[in-house]
Structure 1
Amino acid sequence: MAGEILVLAASLDGRLVSPDLHALSNWSLASFFALFCVLRMATRRCSLQAVAVAFAFGRLAALTQTGFNMSNVWKYNLALPVAILLLAVMYSVHAKRRLIATGLLLAALAVISVAFDYRSLAAMCALAGLLIVVSQAGSARAARRNGSHDIVYAVIIVLALLVINQIGTDAALNGLLGNEIQARSVYQFDATGSLLSGARPEWFATFALMGQHIWGFGPGVSAGWNELGYAFAALDNVGIGSSNPYVQVYMFGSGVELHSIIADLWARYGVVGLAFAVLVTLTLTRSLISNLRRSITTGMTALLSVWAIWSMLFGPIYTDSPLIVLALVLCASATPSKLVGTRT
């Protein structure tokens, strides 16, 4: 079963299937459900780390076909598969040393990500480390008796996000992460008043499109000039500029690409796609909180959950969908027996 997962994961890249957006959209949706079924069956026969390791090797194997993005190999090709692989290996570390070893690994991944201008992953590694500490500090027995702990953990996650965002913003703007990151961060912050919205401005265009065409556009269908006018105006109003190649070519060149799985599913499948995307996001969030409450959060499940929720909001659909499925299955399947590598 692990071998089947590896082969399937290696083949799940839209660039290997079809350059046509309509065919690619349908393929992507069908592959999402196919991979979900395969991974669900795999978790019934294998430990979660075995499934994760096979999947990570599959994603790395896919690079032999798709090639490397030499502009930033770590950010665009290696970061997530390598992180999943190494965090899965942490299960082989003795339980008494696992927490420290996982924390050091997450810190190392964060430092490498900062060095290669992958600011979002660095922040996610920091948040995953905090969540592990919270999970270990909590009392699983008391939490099971009191459902209100879910609200407490939700508040903790929100507060941790706010703290990490503030620390990261201050570090980037003050040059603590390097001059190149400082220059880009200052430009993004000045444009929108926030590093998050400045780095991922596509949601301004998304809301403008939703206001004009709430039912979406259909797979591979381009927005009309009237709708595009509102999207361009929304980007211009926040200082992003609608005339740059990213907007003209990537976002609206041959369809509607909004760099958000939630937004892209809405654009392709209307309110049905939006409802499905929201359901997936809520399920990921619920699994993260549930694992925290039961004190079974690990480095792998924490990082996968945080990254998947981020990607639902701000990630490209074709490259990120397989990892969303992996996070959905592994985090929802987490149990003490599955997390220590025993077979059922």
Structure 2
Amino acid sequence: MGGAVHAVTSSLAAPAQTLPSPEGREGWAVATTGLALLCLVLTGMRHDVFFGLTTGLALAVVLLPLWAPWVRSSRWITWMTVLGGAAAAWSIWLTVWHSDSRVVSNVGLLESVFVVLGLVCGVGCALWARSRASVWVVGAVFGIGMLLGVNPSSEMYAESPWRFGFSLPVTIIVLAVAARWRSRWVDVVAVLALAGVSAVSGGRSTSAILLLVALLVLWQSWGRPASSGLAALRTVILFGTLALGTYFSVQTAILEGALGESAQARTELQLATSGTLITGGRPEIGATAALMSASPGGFGGGSVPSMTDLLVAKSGMAALGYEPNNGYVENYMFGSGFELHSVIGDLWAWCGIPGLVLAAVLLVFLVARTAVLTTGRAASALLLFLGVKSVWNLLFAPLESALPILVLAVALMAPLVRPVGKASG
């Protein structure tokens, strides 16, 4: 028992290791490095080919023999892969189980399975690429893929091209390039500049996350690196304190008009609706809680919500002061499937208990690794942003839109050792 506890503690406390330098630059080594980077670009683009099957996932399946050994390079990744496979299979089983009481959408089922497999395969390919290129190169190439995947024809893009198009890709690319210099001051300047652009564009959550990242980068300048579990726990408490402080500071600034009249009006309305900015801005929390209480086992990715499901969800949202009788709830959230606007909620609704366990493992991993890297004074602004943003997405963003950032965060933050049988370069 003591040995098992020590093994888990060691896994949590281990810093993200620097892998041996990339293998030779000629022949097969060059080809495989190019394939790994191409897979990164396509994974970041998320170009849909067939009902959720993207070009990145298709290439990842073809290249499975090359990246599969890296799944064993971290216990975290191994467990996530197993849980991801179980969650995808469970989505199919749940859909069949509920087919007697709900309409089945084959398109929805395929999309749910492909999204979950996209997480598993995307992380595997990104780990493989990380073994052949520097962390900052992996981040920059992935960001370029996300940039190429921006859709200018979407309605949200027309509303705000920065917030709903370029913000995340540009942030990833800028912070990846900043990480190349290994300077905290370069990181801070880059983060604050990006926070300013997001604030001007009305991006409340993104600007708050970037401000929190800047504080964490600066905090690493004080004290010495530590690797104990107690030090990591203290860092988690620090995260919570800084997050609350940043939340209330940004909220006050918004209400005073610092982010413009539009952001001020939205914030005032959300506060008036439910009393807090979180529940006012994310009433889907009420729907998720109500559905979990009514049907703890989930529904399946191909199950179309029944009228009973819709009424249960609406009652949960109404309890938060939100008026749910609108097109958003009936068409977007429950029109053709379950979309609960959080990674945790979507994984549970689509994949049941295995999906919920996978979400819990992802949450623990992200918090633990962010704390460990920060405590060891080894976290760049890029890693901190990926970690904090992914935790936010687990709670408040749809799985499909959160997938690219989540893939990159897991792959770059995981502690790695070279798999047995892989020769050093």
Q: TM-score, normalization: structure 2?
A: 0.74
Please give the per-residue CA displacement for 1:186-244, whole angstroms capped at 9, x wherever unaligned: 00011111111111111110000011001111013122222221211121232211112
Give aligned-pair identity as a percent: 29
In 2, the alpha carbon distance for the partners of 1:55 and 1:295 equals 24
Higher helix share: 1
Higher deviation after alignment, 244-253 or 172-181 = 172-181
For the residues of structure 2 that align with 1:46 and 1:10, how far apart are their CA atoms?
A: 17
Superposition pairs of residues 192-271 of structure 1, within 5 angstroms: 192-271=274-353
SS state at 2:158 partner: coil
Classify the secondary structure of the residue corresponding to 1:216.
Answer: coil
Assess if the C-alpha contact under 8 Å between 2:123 and 2:407 holds in 1: yes
Q: In the alignment, is residue 123 of structure 1 matched against residue 208 of structure 2?
A: yes
Aligned twin of 1:278: 360
TM-score, with length taken from structure 1: 0.90
In structure 1, how many angstroms separate the alpha carbons of the residues matched to 2:144 and 2:212? 25
Name which of 43, 46, 69 aligns with 2:157: 69
The 5 Å alignment of 1:1-344 reads 1=33, 2-13=36-47, 15-18=48-51, 20-63=107-150, 69-93=157-181, 95=182, 98-140=183-225, 143-144=226-227, 146-333=228-415
Question: Aligned partners of 1:11 and 1:104: how far apart in 2?
Answer: 28
Q: CA deviation at 1:290?
A: 0.6
- Look up the SS of the partner of 1:148 in the other structure: helix
User: Which segment is superposed worse, 325-334 or 105-114?
Assistant: 325-334
Amino acid in structure 1 at the alignment position of 2:209: M
Give SS of 1:215's match: coil
Kept in 2, the 8 Å contact 1:172–1:185? The answer is: yes
Letter in 2 for 1:69: Y
Deviation at 1:286, TM superposition (A): 0.8
Task: Write the distance in 2 (CA, Å) between the matches of 1:136 and 1:115.
Answer: 29
Q: What displacement does 1:123 show?
A: 0.5
- The 3-state SS of whatever aligns with 1:63 is coil
Q: Give 1:31's aligned amino acid.
A: G
Amino acid at match of 1:85: I
Q: 1:276 to 1:92 in 2, by over 3 A?
A: closer
Are the aligned partners of 1:154 and 1:289 in contact in 2 as well (CA < 8 Å)?
yes
What is the CA–CA distance in structure 2 between the aligned matches of 1:294 and 1:187, rounded to whole Å? 42
Shift of 1:65: 9.1
Q: Tell me if structure 2 keeps the 8 A contact 1:216–1:271.
A: yes
Counterparts of 1:17 and 1:173 in 2: how far apart (Å)? 44
Q: Take 1:275 and 1:252, find their aligned partners in 2: how far apart are those partners?
A: 23
Structure 1 residue 100: Cα displacement: 2.0
Given that residues 209 and 228 in structure 1 are in contact (C-alpha distance below 8 angstroms), is that contact kept between their aligned partners in structure 2? no
Q: Secondary structure at the match of 2:273?
A: helix
> How many corresponding residue pairs?
330
